[in-house]
Structure 1
């Protein structure tokens, strides 16, 4: 993934517009799922951690509203080192922070939003931890 795409996702997570943040988090979960799927069966990867990361991302995304606009973000081939997963781990951590911010104003988003956002926050955190552990060994 190009640096500009990562920077764009990162910037969208800091938006003041809740819909833009939710859309960005949706994209982060989607990208991280694809990355986790791509490394699941690589030699030297911890496939259980990769599958856990993917499941957490899919579960978190399922808690969010489907974005009404935007284009899918494409994930290019990854390198084989642990450092290549770092940007995606950081995006998940940033998504967790953005969701935690939205929890504070969940009453303005809609009924039931606080519970869904809290759960998605937890899933983003768990996904980041799992994805970081995929190539530790």
Structure 2
């Protein structure tokens, strides 16, 4: 298994990882990341958050969104995600927060699908456009704790 910056022994599987092998502050090597299976990626993300003391309401869902966004970044320029994360970092977010910002856009689309608002295939073009519109300001406004409850399903 590739080492994403930590201390796992060569040949260790994801169950042996200590969480230092994934750090959302640093982009994993795309080829190494994509060579892992989905469960290994998820375990890496979960282990990082445990070691960092981050306890999201649903650890599994949180990790899955991290993995999806990292996968989209690793895929390169076919999707606007890598460019959006770079733009958000240039605008003042750290990489981890930029992943969360893109993940929030994805979660809006997934919410709509789960609510039956999207009955066809995933609306990739609308998602790409929403990611391209994402700004540091829009993310910070959405993420403010004192802001009223966020209305799901952004207009497209």
Structure with bigger RCO (C-alpha 8 Å, 6+ apart): 1
Which is higher, the Rg of structure 1 or of structure 2?
Answer: 2
Q: TM-score range by the shorter chain?
A: under 0.3
Q: Provide the TM-score with structure 1 as the length reference.
A: 0.25
TM-score, structure 2 length as denominator? 0.23
